[in-house]
């Protein structure tokens, strides 16, 4: 299911519930990770598998991911407000969901964020490095929303965008504007993805220099652009209807063809 707002920013309300087996570790992320990892291994062993086996199969691979992330329980909408119920999960659960592993009956639906980054004339993409979809062109910044013990009132999505932008692009909040306008099902992760329009006055050269100095610069090998006018001439406006879906299906292949770039 998809929720979009094109007239004004989409308002998202979050409600976080900590599962019973994790409540005593609410303020200690490391202990919470250990507790959910133990439970995950027990669940897998009851199905004849284990975490070690999933690592060998390549279905669990983010071994150095230091946080807990959010799994989605329920999403609903009333007028321009979207309500999301969440709970913290170990990232290895998201690994299994990403690899379409169905050993467990209850596959989590992780919450992710993706920004469409624009300058005055161009849309900015990243050529991925690292261990996830290396060599592919995709949107930057983006990623899972990290769990924090911050309570119900926090704007989890906006905080996730700011965190990913700082880590992947090295930008401060003052160097871009952010407008959240949609959320859609993400079949790749088995979850939902929050979409935002991110605008900056920085040039491509300035963005590239900041990206190289960012803490997670290794996730992308470089930035690439596609002129907005090229998309408009093809009848594709990134900020009208189903932008992520249309850009992946039409915009990125167009970019690859025009610039003769092959992942």
Q: Is the pLDDT of residue 197 over 70?
A: yes
Average pLDDT over residues 76-101: 92
Q: Structural domains in the chain?
A: 3-259 (3.90.79.10)
In the prediction, which pLDDT does 62 show? 85
Query: What is the per-residue pLDDT across 164-185, written as a single tens digit (0 to 9) for each?
Result: 999 999 999 999 999 888 888 8
Mean pLDDT lowest among 44-58, 106-120, 137-151, 198-212: 137-151
Q: Which of these ranges, 186-190, 202-206, 257-261, has the smallest mean pLDDT?
A: 257-261
Q: Among 10, 178, 13, 146, which residue's Cα sits nearest to residue 70?
A: 146
Confidence at residue 250, expressed as pLDDT on a 0 to 100 scale: 63
More confident residue, 242 or 127: 127
Q: Return the beta strands (E) in 29-134 as ranges.
A: 69-78, 81-89, 111-118, 122-128
- Do 140 and 220 contact (CB within 8 A), yes or no? yes
pLDDT band per the 50, 70, 90 thresholds, residue 263: very low
**Residue 55 belongs to what H/E stretch?**
helix 51-56
pLDDT of residue 259: 54
147 pLDDT band (50/70/90 cuts)? very high
Q: Are strands 191-199 and 177-186 parallel, antiparallel or unpaired?
A: antiparallel
Residues 6+ apart with CB under 8 A from 242: 2, 4, 184
Average pLDDT over residues 118-124: 91
Owner of token pair 């063809």: 257
What would the pLDDT profile of 54-74 be if each residue is shown by its tens digit? Answer: 999 999 988 878 899 999 999
Residue 33 phi, psi (nearest 5): -60, -45
Predicted local confidence at residue 200, as pLDDT: 97
Give the pLDDT confidence score for residue 233 in this predicted structure. Answer: 76
Q: How far apart are CA 9 and CA 206, in angstroms?
A: 28
Enumerate the β-bridge partners of residue 117: 124, 198
Q: Which residue has the higher pLDDT, 172 or 220?
A: 172
pLDDT score of 78: 85
Asked if 71 and 88 touch (Cβ cutoff 8 Å), the reply is yes
- Global pTM reads 0.87
């Amino acid at each position: 299911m998809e929720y979009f707002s094109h007239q004004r920013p989409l308002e998202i309300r979050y409600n976080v519930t900590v599962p019973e087996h994790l409540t005593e570790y609410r303020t200690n992320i490391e202990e919470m990770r250990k507790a959910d990892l133990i439970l995950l291994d027990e669940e897998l062993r009851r199905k004849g598998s284990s975490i070690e086996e999933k690592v060998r199969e390549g279905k669990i691979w983010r071994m150095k991911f230091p946080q807990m992330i959010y799994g989605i329980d329920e999403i609903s909408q009333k007028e321009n407000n979207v309500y999301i119920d969440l709970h913290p999960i170990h990232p290895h659960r998201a690994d299994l969901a990403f690899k379409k592993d169905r050993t467990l009956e209850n596959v989590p639906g992780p919450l992710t964020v993706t920004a469409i980054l624009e300058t005055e004339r161009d849309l900015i993409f990243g050529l991925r490095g690292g261990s996830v979809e290396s060599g592919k062109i995709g949107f930057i910044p983006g990623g899972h929303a990290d769990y924090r013990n911050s309570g119900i009132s926090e704007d989890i999505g906006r905080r996730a965008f700011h965190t990913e932008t700082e880590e992947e692009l090295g930008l401060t909040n003052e160097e871009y504007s952010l407008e959240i306008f949609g959320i859609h099902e993400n079949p790749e992760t088995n979850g939902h993805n929050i979409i935002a329009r991110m605008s900056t006055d920085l040039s491509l050269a300035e963005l590239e220099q900041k990206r190289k100095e960012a803490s997670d610069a290794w996730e992308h090998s470089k930035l690439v652009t596609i002129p907005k006018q090229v998309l408009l001439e093809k009848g594709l406006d990134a900020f009208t209807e189903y932008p992520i879906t249309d850009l992946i299906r039409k915009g990125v292949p167009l970019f690859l063809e025009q610039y003769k770039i092959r992942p």
